[in-house]
Copies of this chain bind each other. A is one copy, B any other.
């Protein structure tokens, strides 16, 4: 039996301020919840219409479709919803490529970028403090569970980039073509905001500006930040 206060608590976790206050977030859907349960994330409670969906013996309770509907942030809730604790932030290491996001605002874009990092074996992502929250429900859905395999840190980018010894590549419309770039084994790739690109403060610390050549007519809009990240990570890994 779910009580009203639990439903209210879970609904509140849709909002960033409540997530930060409680250091917890909500994940929904069979695939996402299973991936997080199989990871280092610590689960607080699992609510499901079908107890057989996950192995965990404790911390799960059966609920009605109606209660799931009340808790859920989705239009069509998918059988299970779980509350997890924020992971412990791990330190960023300079051992491989690192993706840095300077003020990416769209939750779907962030989720897609996390999934891309996971695909390309890049497990470190540093976001500016203004970048959208990685535990935003829309971001989590777009990651398809990849969020459990990528170490995410929110940091002051200027401080972080100032201290690194790695070369810092940044995506710019007027950068040099990525096709001629010989990427090193490790480095940093900075991607900017959807509308304004990389901020001036961060731009000052970029070692090399790179761009994806355009083949269409000149009045074409720039690429979306998630698709540009896909192309650049592929260029880095293809060697």
Contacts and interface: CB of A to CB of B under 8 A. Distances in A.
A184 interface: no
A120 B217 CA distance: 9
A179 B236 CA distance: 12
B116 A221 contact: no
Interface stretch (A2-10, A83-91, A225-233): A225-233
Given A149-B216, A212-B234, A231-B231, A224 B112 contact: yes
A146 interface: yes
A22 interface: no
A121 B214 CA distance: 8
A238 interface: yes
Contacts of A219: 35
Interface in A102-117: 108, 112, 115-117
A117 B238 CA distance: 22
B179 A216 contact: no
Contacts of A95: none
A222 to B, nearest CB: 8
Given A121-B216, A212-B234, A215-B237, A223 B145 contact: no
A76 interface: no
Nearest to A227: B230
A223 B115 contact: yes
A148 to B, nearest CB: 10
